[in-house]
Amino acid sequence: DGGITQSPKYLFRKEGQNVTLSCEQNLNHDAMYWYRQDPGQGLRLIYYSQIVNDFQKGDIAEGYSVSREKKESFPLTVTSAQKNPTAFYLCASRAGTGLHEQYFGPGTRLTVT
C-alpha cells in the first residue's frame, strides 16, 4: 500500500525536551512538507524539502529542525526553543511539478507540559 506514515500518533513530552517526529513515504514523491495546525487556524508551513539533501524554512521554522537524507524520510525535530510546541503536526508529500496537490500523513498530536 502506497502512502505516508507518521509516528507516533500521540506524543507527550516535558517542557525543555527535544522530540523528533517521524514521516515516511513510499510514493516516490520528491517534495515533502511539515505543517502544524492549531485549533481554529489554517495549516502553517514549518519546513519543506523539494529534493534529497535540501530543505527550506517555511513560515514558522523557529524552534524546529529537519533533515532529508533519504527521499522517503523527512523527520522533524521540535526543539526546546519552540515556545508553543503543543499542536497537531502534519507531514505531506507531492509528486510532479509544483502545481500538483499534496497528500498528507495521519498526523502526530504533540502535547508538551
Partner 1 sequence: RKEVEQDPGPFNVPEGATVAFNCTYSNSASQSFFWYRQDCRKEPKLLMSVYSSGNEDGRFTAQLNRASQYISLLIRDSKLSDSATYLCVVNPGREYGNKLVFGAGTILRVKS
> Which of 2, 69, 84, 98 contacts partner 1 by CB under 8 A?
98
Nearer to partner 1, 70 or 100 (CB): 100
Residue from 102, 97, 75 nearest 11 by CA? 75
Residue 108 Cβ, how far from partner 1 at the closest point, in Å?
10
By the 8 A CB rule, do 113 and 12 touch?
A: yes
- The C-alpha cell that represents 35 in the structure block: 505543517
Residue 45 Cβ, how far from partner 1 at the closest point, in Å?
6
CB within 8 A of 90, min separation 6: which ones? 6, 34, 35, 36, 37, 43, 104, 105, 107
By the 8 A CB rule, do 107 and 88 touch?
A: yes
Nearer to partner 1, 9 or 14 (CB): 9
Binders of partner 1 in range 13-42 (CB under 8 A): 35, 40-42
Residue 28 Cβ, how far from partner 1 at the closest point, in Å?
18
Question: Cα(43)–Cα(50) distance, rounded to whole angstroms?
Answer: 19
Binders of partner 1 in range 50-69 (CB under 8 A): 56, 58
Chain residues that interact with partner 1, rule: CB under 8 A: 35, 40-45, 48, 56, 58, 88, 90, 97-107, 109
